Structure formats: C-alpha cells, structure tokens
Structure 1
Amino acid sequence: MTDSILVVDDELSMREFLQIMLQKQGYQVATASQGEEALALLDRKNFDLVICDILMPRVDGMQVLRQVKEADPDAQVVMITAFASTESAVEAMKLGAYDYITKPFKVDEIKLVIANALERSRLVRENVRLRQELKVLYSFENLVGASPPMLEVYELIRQVAPTRSNILISGESGTGKELVAKAIHFLSPRKEKPFITVNCGAIPGELMESELFGHKKGAFTGAYQHKKGLFEIADQGTVFLDEIGELPPPIQVKLLRAIQDKIFKAVGGLEDVSVDVRVIAATNRNLEAAVAQGQFREDLYYRLNVISLRVPPLRERKEDIPLLAQHFLDQYSKELGKSVKKISRETEALLQAYNYPGNVRELENIIERAVALEKSDAILPETLPEFLRHPPESPAALAEVGFPEQGLSLDVTMEDIERRLLTEALRRTGGVKKDAAELLGISFRSFRYRLAKLGLASAEEE
C-alpha cells in the first residue's frame, strides 16, 4: 500500500517542491495552504505522515500539530520552519512531533527523515493491527496441538503470562517459539502495549546498538536525526529477542544493563533513558554451553533465564501432525481460494512417517505447496514433495562410513560427511540457504562459512 502524506505550508513554492519530490518517490501527496484547510482534510482522511510549516496565518503549525495528536496520538508529524528557535523545537517535540527541520534543508536529509517517520508509522500501525486483530490468534488456545508435551507448554504459558519475569524460550528452528512469545504477551497485562520482535541474527552487529537503544542526531555518519530504539518504542510492552545466542558480546553488556537497571543510553546520548519492558528471548542454541565456552555472558544468561520454557520439536509430538496439517490445510485453502477440504489416508501416513528437521514450519510449507498444486478436494500423495514420497537417506545413513583396516583420514572423512549434509539440506529447501541453515540448526553466517570452506559457495558469494 502506498504511503500517503499531507504537506501543509502557506508558501506555494515549498508546497510544490515537496509535492513533486515526494510524488517522484511514489508517495500519495495532498497539500494544504493553511491550517484550517489541513484540519478539514484530516477530518476526512487519515494520512501516514503530516509535514507542516510552523509559521502560518490564523491557525499555525503548532495548533495543527496539537489537534492532530489529540485526534490520533500515534500520528506522525514533521515540523518545518524558516525561523528556528530552541523554544519552538522543544515545544514541537513535547507536543509529539516526530522531528523538527529548519529551512533551508538538504534534500537527502528530509528524504531520510520522511522515510524514518513513515517506518515509524508502519510500526505503529502494525502494533495496532496486532492489538485489534491478533488477540484471539495468539492466545494459547490457538496454538495447535493436543499432545502431552504441548499441554505442558499451554499450562506454563498460562502460569507465566501474568508475571513480570523475563523468559527464555528454547527449541529447534521452526518449532513456534515466536508464536509462544506472542501468546505470553497477549495473555499478559501488557497485551495493549507494543510487542516488538528483534531478530538478533539478522541485524549486523555494528547496527544492533542503534536498533535496540536508538541514537542521537550526529552520533555517526548518516544519523541526520534522533531515532528512538526498539526498547524505547516497546516501553510498557514486550521485546522479543529471537536468536539471542547470535548477539555480539559488546551488545550483550549493554543489554544486560538495560534489563538489570531498566535504563540505557542512546548512541551518542548522555542522558539515561528509563523503560519498563518485559524481555522474552528465544534460542535454538545451547546457551549453557555457549556460556561455558565464553561465547555468551553468564550474568546475562541468568537475567534472561528467570523462567525457561522449552518448545518440543515436532518429532516428539507426532500425534499433533494430523491436527496441524488440517489447520494449515484450512488456512491455505481459504488464502489461496482453493476447495481442498481433506487429506487422504495415504498422504497422512506419509506425513506421519517423516521426522521434520524443519519442524512445524516445514510441515506448514509442505501443506501450503500441496494446496497450491492439488486439483482435487483432497491432498493426494502425488502433490507431496519427492523426499516425502521417496524418502532419501536419513542423516544417520548419510553420516555412516566404513572403517577400513588401514585406517582413514578423520579430517577428510568429516569434511565429506559435512559436505553431504549441507548438500542434502540445500536440496530439501530448494537451494534457500537460510532455510537450509535452520534445518541444520546452525546460524546463516555459519552455514555460509561452511559452504565457502568446502568449496560449495556460489561465485557471487565468494
């Protein structure tokens, strides 16, 4: 969906300049020459962003800002003026403006401010959508499964959700750790506040501090304005730190202080920022081993692991496979506009026989693919992937080697086993490296390193 922006300025040349520039970037743009006109437009339509001059006759920019924020506290407003003063800037920020820009401004600067403001708007909309639409979806009753291991998970969710304690969720990739985290949040007293997800393995280490704790204008090259971090945005709510084991050591120190003291400093900032945030972390790694090896701080581990919750892999709750398969069948039949209603007995037997190294996520992918390809009203074996209909060698078989009497080279043998497992993971995931890494229970970075080490990386990766 195209973002919509309202430009409010009594200077025609400025309105036209901003309108042309923003339309070239693909935004929907409306303009108003005075405050009254802007408020009338805002009564009729919601905008993702308002860019408003401060000094205007009759209804000035501050009045527009005040009324916009009264009507919608989450609205994003950027103020611009040719007559800057510290007092007006402070007043605008106190009233809730996203940022304050002085004319004349650099085009790149205002483009960046606008992009960041719209990103904030999208984030706010997403949290509103979660609060309004996903309360039911993420209640524990809608986590699919009736096996004893899952009943234990439900009971623990019910017990821990009302508390303030931090939680560490462990489990293999694809088991549904984020779904469990959301269930805890939406069953807690914080359910009306933000739920913010941070994938610690996907954000470069040099950007992680700014992402988590924000930065001040001028803190580093490209920091054109103040940016709130995700911890500040999540105040009174929950931060979900996925793949916490991938967090770089320097950031582990700063995270420890934020959790322990509930304060932090933005990058380039001098003042402490106080927040009330519940932290739920998740990992598919053995963090205790990482602590023993000096890869993860012990004090941070104990701060995160106040309550531990393990999500079982799908192979440990195979009785849930029919329930999950039917759940995904109903979901994707509706989403894809198909009339597939059931799963044949032969297909169900094949689904039950598989061990799902990718867990629930892999089962979901299999059912979505089958629904998309199926032409009848039932999923038949013919629409399942080849590896389900004709199972390849198991990982144990792949790893099986003979031990010749004259001995062998352990390094060469282990490399051969590793190469075969990497190749099999890529085959199963259609060459999608991130998914292959998850199948093997290693990070994407580690997977790429191993491919390069064994000469399996593509030319562009090298």
Structure 2
Amino acid sequence: MSRGYLDKEPCQAYTISSSGGETKVAAVTINQPFNILVVDDEVNIRKTLSMFLETEGHRVIAVSNFEDAIAEASRRSFELAFVDLRLGAESGLDLIPALLAVSHWLKIIVVTAYASIDTAVEAIRRGATDYIPKPFTPAQVKLAMQKVFELRTLEQKVTTLQEDLGRLHPEIDFSSTSNTMQRAVSLARQVAPSDATILLRGESGTGKSVLARAIHRWSNRAAKPMSIVSCPSFLSDLLESELFGHIKGAFTGAIRDNPGRIAACEGGTLLLDEIGDLPLSLQPKLLRFVQDREYERVGDYTTRKADVRLITATNVDLEKAVREGRFREDLFYRLNVIQIEIPPLRDRPDDVAILAEKLLVFYGRNNHRSFHGFTREALEALKLYRWPGNVRELSNIIERAAIISQADRVGAESLPPSLVPGDANAHIGDPITLGKIEEQHIRRVLATAKSLQEAADILGIDQATLWRRRKKYGI
C-alpha cells in the first residue's frame, strides 16, 4: 500500500546560497505539510507543480480558472496558493484580493512568464507574499515556500502571545502524589499525539483548560494555533458566529466577514470549555462538524472543511443532561471518545503544599518579593481547607498572601479568615467546647486520609457516622 501524505518524513524546505558561481541548497525541515492551491491555466504547469509539491509531502488542489479557485478556497482552508498572473482572459492580479477576502491568512506566491518590476510591485501591493518568474526551478519554489513557512510560524507565535497577554498564569507542572491525578496526566500524554476527540471532566477550577493546553503542546499540532471558546460566555446566536464565522451582512452588526474560531485554528486544536452549556440549537451543527469536519458560516451556504482537533471540557453531569433532554445523546457519544477525569483538590491534600509553594514563588516574583515558604500553621490551614474552588481558588489565595504578607515566610495571618477560624489551631485543654475539638480532629484526619473509609477507620466510627459529622460541621 502506498504511503499517505501524513506518513511521509517531515517536509523539506531549502535556502539557497552562491559561492564561486555554484548554487548550494541547504535543507530546512518543515514539520507540518501545507494545504496548497495551484491556479494556472496551463495543464502541464498544474500537473508538474502539483506532482512536485505532493512529492514534498504537501496536499495539493489544482484548478485552471478564477471561479474554481474561489470555490475551492471557500470550501477548505489553504496555507499557500501559487497563482499564475495570466488565467486566460482573466488576470491573476484580480484573483489575489478575491482569495484573501475568503481566507485572510492565506499566503500567495505569484508566478508568471511575464515578469517585470511593475507587475511584482503590483502583486505585492494587492497582497501577494512572494513572486517567482517562469520558468522556475525546484530550488526557487522551495525557497519561496521556506519564506512562507517562516512567516506563518512567526505570525502564529505572535497570535499565541497576544492571546496569553492579560491572562498570565503560573506554569503548572503535573507532578502529583495522587494516583488518580497521575493516571489522568498519563492518559493525557498517551492520547495527545492522536487526533481523538477528548472530553475533560472535573469540577470548576481543577485545571481542565491548563491540561487542554498541555495536550496541545504534547501533540503533533503544537506548531499550529490553539483557541479556547467558553460556551457560557456567548448568547446562542453569537456563539454560532464565534465558532463557525459569518459573512458580512449576515445579521445586524456584521459589518465585515468573520472566519470564526474553527477556521482560525486550522491544523491546530479547539477547546470548547463548559460544553454542557452548549445551546440545544447549536448541538446538531457541532455534531456534524465532529462527524464530518464540515460546517457553514452564518449567512453563507458554502460548505467548508477544517482540520481541527477538538477537546471539550465540562463540570456538569452530561449523562444527567442527556436524560433530561438538555444534551444530545449522539453528540455526547461523539465527544466522549477519550474521557479524562481530573480529581478535585480536596481529594489530593498532599498536593496542596506542593502547589502552594510553586504558586508562592511565582506570585512573589510578580510582586518583587522573595519568600521562604509558609509557617507550619499556615500550611496546616491550607491542608485542612476543603477547596471548593480547587486550584483556581488556591491560586487566588496565594496571590493575596504574596501581596499582603509582611514577613518572608507566609503565616496564617496572611490567609483569609475563612481558611483560619479563630479556634482552628486549638489544643486539648484549651478553653473551647468538645465540639470544636472534634471538628478540628475530623478535619485533620480527612486531610491526611486517602479515602473516607480510611478516615472512618482512624476515627473509630463507621462511614455513616462520619457523613453525619461532616454534614454537622460543614466539612
């Protein structure tokens, strides 16, 4: 069986240098194949250029005229187009802005047998990236493609940096003493190189989006864009436009075309956060995209295709939502190919101290402070707390402590009162009630026990009694 494009070795681009009249070509690896559109009215040029590009590992669509070029660009995403300046009675110069109107991120290399300074300047002015004359050599094509590759790589880095500005977070590693967390991270690493759809489950604040970003970094799509869309952040109509895009005039306020998040992360990864809040009206459209990778922009009937890896995340019971008719069963099964459950922070108390120390270093650096950790009382209070907001809440509390602490070792006085009640560190013999002593003892045992059964065994009571005590004390 012949090898497919994705089974080939990484694509090679080349740079050219001359020495003593000899032209040398140096290879530079392009790790991702391009989707390339070839537009030329000469059948031999189309076939020869297409065969050469396919041999290099790229995916190629070749057409002969203006109309077919626009139709193909409307149906799928291309990174690069080779456009002949003379297309029968039509001008390739006119095709340049028309293609860019369909695909804003497309890079266009103009090729022509009628090369001149004026046409080169005009092609660049209309939006072309580069310009090569006919007849061209393989080395010229490879050099032009290398320039495009370097430009796209730089643009993607800038886009990623812009998305991260204003929401800078501490770098979280995934080291954990919890077997459950270790299994979750191990599974994430294992499935990252595949294109399988992943469903991340866990309470709010457990780090689902952080793990999704890590999966993207560990995948073969790491060089491509990643985008995150929070489903509850948009009204139904606006969410559809945000995901799939819209054309100018599709609705009031649509003053220009919007390609949408799916098109914007072509070849990369899309995270749909809080997928349980996806409106029912949008669920059939997402189902179609998951199944066929096809969609239409709002106000446009042109069917488009996209190569995007989908990750979804939720903190709700999707099975219950299916039973109640709030979530489509077929969509649930399509999204639930690989399920990764992230445990809440209260189920891994030993991780609290590890995370707190890392966060304190990060926020200390941000506030031009140097800390030497936490006092024993502060660490004990952090471990005893139940963390309903999980890692996000812990991060916020450590940031607060790094700002208000007056000492180089953060003490319990720098933590919120809710974490350190007045009698939290009481001892036997102190003038407090037996109930307070019992509450504190139960909290400490729960913080160190690996399960509720182990905690009940340590306390010498059954799980039902422990449940009643937890309810009584709000643990």
The TM-score, its normalising length taken from structure 1, stands at 0.58
Corresponding residue of 2:96: 91
Whole-angstrom CA distance in 2 between matches of 1:364 and 1:248: 31
Q: Please give the alpha-carbon distance, in whole angstroms, between the structure 2 residues aligned to 1:251 and 1:220.
A: 17
Shift of residue 89, structure 1, vs aligned partner? 5.9
Contact 2:175 2:182 in 1 (8 A): no
Query: Does 2:278 align with 1:273?
Result: no
Percent of residue pairs identical: 41
Counterpart-to-counterpart distance in 1, 2:211 and 2:267: 19
In structure 2, which of residues 181, 188, 204 is the aligned counterpart of residue 150 of structure 1?
181
Q: Which runs of structure 2 are paired with 1:137-286 in the superposition (5 Å)?
A: 142-286=173-317
Question: Counterpart in 1 of 2:160?
Answer: 127
For residues 88 and 94 of structure 1, the distance between their equivalents in structure 2, rounded to whole angstroms, comes to: 10
SS at match of 1:201: helix
- CA deviation map 1:30-57 (0-9, x unaligned): xxxxxxxxxxxxxxxxxxxxxxxxxxxx
Aligned length: 287
Q: Deviations over 1:161-189 (max 9, x none)?
A: 01110010000000000011111111000
| 1:145 CA drift (Å) | 2.5
Equivalence for 1:22: none
> Which aligned pairs between 1:41-52 and structure 2 lie closer than 5 A?
none
Q: 2: distance between equivalents of 1:338 and 1:254? A: 50
Contact 2:246 / 2:297 at 8 angstroms: preserved in 1? Answer: yes
Asked if the contact 1:145/1:324 (under 8 Å) is kept, the reply is no
Deviations 1:402-425 (A, max 9, x none): xxxxxxxxxxxxxxxxxxxxxxxx
Aligned 8 A contact 2:404 2:414 in 1: yes
- Name structure 2 gaps, 5 residues minimum: 1-78, 81-89, 106-153, 425-435, 440-475
Within a 5 Å distance, the mapping from 1:414-429 to structure 2 comes to none
Residue matched to 1:374? 405
Q: How many Å separate the matches in 1 of 2:386 and 2:306?
A: 43
- Aligned amino acid, residue 287 of structure 2: L
- Residues of 2 paired with 1:281 and 1:89: CA distance? 41
**C-alpha contact 1:167 1:306 (8 A) present in aligned 2:** yes
1:252 to partner: Cα distance: 0.8
| Structure 1 residue 88, shift from structure 2 partner | 6.0
One-letter amino acid of the counterpart of residue 91, structure 1:
I
CA distance in 2, matches of 1:345, 1:356: 19
- 1:223 shift after superposition: 1.4
Q: 1:353 aligns with which of 384, 387, 401?
A: 384
1:342 aligned counterpart, secondary structure: coil
The one-character-per-residue Cα deviations of 1:272-314 (angstroms, maximum 9, x if unpaired) are 1100111100000000000011000011111110000000000
Query: Are 2:276 and 2:318, in contact at CA under 8 Å, matched by a contact in 1?
Result: yes
Per the TM alignment, residue 94 of structure 1 is displaced from its structure 2 partner at its CA by 2.7
- The amino acid of 1:176's aligned partner reads G
- Opposite residue 127 of structure 1, the aligned amino acid is T
1:127-183 C-alpha deviation (Å, 9 max, x unpaired) = 25789xx9xx87xx8224232222112211111101110010000000000011111
CA RMSD of aligned residues (A): 3.1
Equivalence for 2:342: 311
The residue type equivalent to 1:290 in the other structure is: A
- The code of the aligned residue for 1:196 comes to S
Find the aligned partners of 2:157 and 2:249 in 1 and give their Cα distance.
25
**Matching of residue 342 in structure 1 with residue 373 in structure 2:** yes
SS in 1 for 2:233: coil
Q: Say whether the 8 Å CA contact 1:329–1:341 is kept in structure 2.
A: no
CA distance in structure 1 between the aligned counterparts of 2:244 and 2:355, rounded to whole angstroms:
38
Displacement of 1:95: 5.3
Summarize the Cα distance change of 1:86–1:224 in structure 2 as closer, same or farther, 3 Å threshold.
farther
One-letter code of the match for 1:185? H
8 Å CA contact retained: 1:216, 1:269: yes
Q: SS at 1:356's partner residue?
A: coil
2:332 is aligned, of 301, 308, 333, to 301
2: CA distance between counterparts of 1:334 and 1:142?
18
Query: 2:361–2:370: 8 Å Cα contact kept in structure 1?
Result: no
Matching of residues 15-94 of structure 1 within 5 Å: 90-94=95-99
One-letter identity of the residue aligned with 2:272: L
| CA–CA separation in structure 2 for the residues paired with 1:166 and 1:258 | 12
SS in structure 1 at match of 2:339: strand
Measure the CA separation in 2 of the matches of 1:158 and 1:238.
15
Q: CA deviation at 1:204?
A: 1.3
Distance 1:304 1:159 in 2: 18
Once residues 187 and 122 of structure 1 are traced to their aligned partners in structure 2, the CA distance between those partners, rounded to angstroms, is 21
